[in-house]
Amino acid sequence: MIAIGLFSIACLFAGLSIGAAVVFSVWIDRQSRRMDRKRATAMWIDRNDDSPQGESVFCPEAVVLLCVRGHDPFLAQTIRALSRQDYANYRIIVVVDHRQDPAWKVVEDTKLELGINDQQLELQELVSRHDQCGLKCSSLIQALESLPDENFDHRIIVTIDSDAVPGKEWLANMVFPLAQREVGAATSNQWFEPREWSLGSWVRSVWHAGAIVPTAMLGNPWAGGFAIRQADLAESGLIEAWRTSIIDDGPVREGLQRLGKRIEFVPQNIVINREACRLDYCLRYVARMLTWSRLFESTFWMTGIHALVTTTIQLMIVLWCMLAILSVGSATSLTAALGAIGLPAASVAVILLGQVLGFYLVRRAIFRVTTAKDEANPTPGELQNSPIAGLFQFATICIGVPLANLAYAVGCFQAMRVKRVVWRNIAYEIDNGRKVKMLGYAPYVAEKPHVFENHSV
């Protein structure tokens, strides 16, 4: 009876993994079609209504803010993609942490290559560093304070990260939801699709495939693709919140709730992140993301319970399988040995294949709706030029699934007790919830983060 019960639990667990992926696939398709219909309707009105009262396609001034510390491998491609946006009224401000930062020369060289002026792309060095918040928050505040007061009420502020390359319609897609006054911000997310077959890269991709489902469906803000009215930034108190926050997207929901406005998720703007990473970096990344969730999301207790329950279930079934393997030596016949190990092994296989299938369903749904499919971001099919490559990827993901589950459980444990966070080689002390203190500053020069004790991630 116990064996049948554990096998049933394994089937239920696999079914839930697949079911969540299916629900996400249906939801993201509907969200994408709904936004496409709204944009098509707005464009039709603009083309056909010549009266003075006719609406025009929503195209206010947009300022894209890119905050950089360290030379991300796709930084130059990100800037090139931003310079080619299919949007009539925008400019770019890049804030680099320090002139000695290797990113400074990359931005300068790319700007020269593109032949664009300071009005189109303004390069700033971060000079106003606040030790009670993250460096990115300091960069955003400095960029905002440098903007002229003219057009304050109508200007849209858009943020993007330097580790992904947006499609040509990215900016237009990000700004358009703000045509509705009840929408306070538009946001999107990213998908990790590395070109290299490093295990850490695919473990991060597998973990993120599970994380993006609730993140997108709940409309949680993501600063790597985010748009908000400058007036709402000021009125919501977000700028002041950034002065004491380690991350910029964490306080967004609370600020917009004070204004009675919602966050709109833009599926078309999911960007494809091609960066590779080692397994040790992946584990730190997962722990850091879960730390942000603990600090700023009221539903983190549900995340903790989910991690505890799912990890316990999977460990029980794996231990059951291991005990069955150990008992094979005492079996009197081959048939008895196969009978002893059959159901436990099947349970492990069911759980594993259920999560792998869920990963592929989420992946397929994202590549179906995203518009980031230019030459810098080939679709998954273009990466798999042979059946052997596809088989190797499948095997890598099968190995990545249990490692992602382990990273999830360990990351939740670390997030609940973390006192220090190391981010881009800068250590921050977190005390009494969201109270933050930068423990020292130095320009970015090394690739490998320093090791800090006292439960750092």
- For residue 290, what are the domain limits? 19-46+56-300
Which has the closest alpha carbon to 397: 192, 176, 237, 254? Answer: 192
In Å, how far from its chain's centre is CA 129? 25
Model pLDDT for residues 107-160, shown as the tens digit of each residue: 999 999 999 999 999 999 999 899 999 999 999 999 999 999 888 889 999 999
Q: Concatenated DSSP letters for 390-416?
A: HHHHHHHHHHHHHHHHHHHHHHHHHHH
Burial of 313 (0-12, 13-18, 19+ CB in 10 A): middle
Establish if 259 belongs to a structural domain.
yes
Establish if 306 belongs to a structural domain.
no
d(CA 385, CA 382): 6
Residue carrying the six token digits 């502020």: 157
Establish if 322 belongs to a structural domain.
no
pTM for the full predicted model? 0.88
Question: Mapping DSSP to helix (H, G, I), strand (E, B) and coil, where does residue 378 land?
Answer: coil
Establish if 196 belongs to a structural domain.
yes
* Residue 404, CA atoms < 13 Å, CB-side half-sphere: 22
d(CA 97, CA 126): 5
Q: Cα–Cα distances in Å, from 129 out to 95, 153, 224, 236?
A: 12, 27, 21, 23
d(CA 457, CA 451): 9
The residue type at 55? E
Establish if 63 belongs to a structural domain.
yes
d(CA 207, CA 407): 8
Would you give per-residue pLDDT tens digits along the chain (457 residues)? Answer: 677 888 888 899 999 999 999 999 999 999 999 988 887 776 655 555 554 444 457 789 999 999 999 888 889 999 999 999 999 999 999 999 999 999 999 999 999 999 999 999 999 999 989 999 999 999 999 999 999 988 888 999 999 998 888 999 999 999 999 999 999 999 999 999 988 778 999 999 999 999 999 999 998 999 999 999 999 999 999 999 999 999 999 999 999 999 999 999 999 999 999 888 999 999 999 999 999 999 998 889 899 999 999 988 888 888 878 887 777 655 555 555 555 577 888 888 999 999 999 999 999 999 999 976 544 444 444 444 567 777 888 899 999 999 999 999 999 999 988 888 888 889 999 886 678 999 989 898 755 444 333 333 4
Q: The CATH number of the domain where 32 resides is what?
A: 3.90.550.10
Q: How many domains does the chain have?
A: 1
Q: What are phi and psi of 428, to 5 degrees?
A: -125, 135
Beta bridge partners of 190: 271
Model pLDDT for residues 400-449, shown as the tens digit of each residue: 999 999 999 999 999 988 888 888 889 999 886 678 999 989 898 755 44
Number of H helices, E strands in the chain: 14, 12
Establish if 326 belongs to a structural domain.
no
Which has the closest alpha carbon to 158: 187, 195, 123? Answer: 187
Establish if 436 belongs to a structural domain.
no
In Å, how far from its chain's centre is CA 282? 13
d(CA 78, CA 104): 14
CB 170 within 8 A of CB 272: no
Establish if 62 belongs to a structural domain.
yes
Residue carrying the six token digits 């971001």: 377
